Amino acid sequence: MATYGGDSSGQGLQALIDSSPAPRAHTSVAAETALVCGLGAVLTAPFSILFGVAAVLGTVAVLSGMIGLITTHRPDVAGSALTAFGACLGGFAIALIGVRYLGLDSAFGDQLVPWVADQLQHWNTKLPQPR
């Protein structure tokens, strides 16, 4: 069995792997926050009852996206794609909310609420009820 450095126990190869110059990168918290808040903002923006929630989440996504773009320029911090995507989603949600102020109804999710409620009721009747 061939080993690195003539060491039969394999310690030489393990030492080479452990001293690898590959950087240990971590994902930016701001990037993760931007993505999660951006997704939440886009998912809540079509419903008029969640107008405030979408506005807050969109604003947090854009602000943390800006912070994430700055922090992900360091070589040990990953997440620049998450940051950009989250900030774009937050900006899109804010744009949907802004369109409402122009008089266009962008709350297209409100028509889905009765259908979703009917579907939930239908599927709840198929489940065994607690006693």
pLDDT at 49 (0 to 100) = 86
pTM: 0.69
**Concatenated DSSP letters of 77-90:** EE-HHHHHHHHHHH
Domain ranges of the chain: 25-107
pLDDT at 1 (0 to 100) = 47
Q: How far apart are CA 61 and CA 85, in angstroms?
A: 10
> Could you count the other beta carbons within 10 Å of the beta carbon of residue 26?
9
The C-alpha angle with vertex 30 and arms to 25 and 35, in degrees rounded to 5, equals: 100
What averages of pLDDT result for each successive group of 10 residues across the chain (131 residues)? 53 72 80 96 90 95 95 88 96 92 79 86 86 75
The H or E element containing residue 26 is: strand 26-27
pLDDT at 6 (0 to 100) = 52
